[in-house]
Amino acid sequence: MNIEQFENISLTLGIGGLVLYMVYIMYRLGKDSNAGKFGKFIIFFALGLGVFGFAIKIVIELMLSV
């Protein structure tokens, strides 16, 4: 295993972990603020768009590099 492989694996796991932590934060934000179902939906939708945009960016980069 060379440095480049290690960096790719570390980056993937690190960003994945941060995304999961962000989902947990969104859940706690909705729960602690006593938001209803609609409020939780808005929290997950608005903050989830950032994660979705990041994922789409990666997919587009992979498609264009082929």
Q: Where are the domains of the chain?
A: 3-65
pTM for this one? 0.70
**Ramachandran class of 34: left when φ > 0, alpha when ψ lies in -120 to 50, beta otherwise:** left
Predicted local distance difference test score (pLDDT) of residue 21:
93
Model confidence pLDDT, tens digit, residues 15-57:
889 989 989 998 999 899 998 899 999 988 988 888 888 889 8
Q: How far apart are CA 13 and CA 23, in angstroms?
A: 15
Q: Which two tokens stand for residue 55?
A: 């994922």
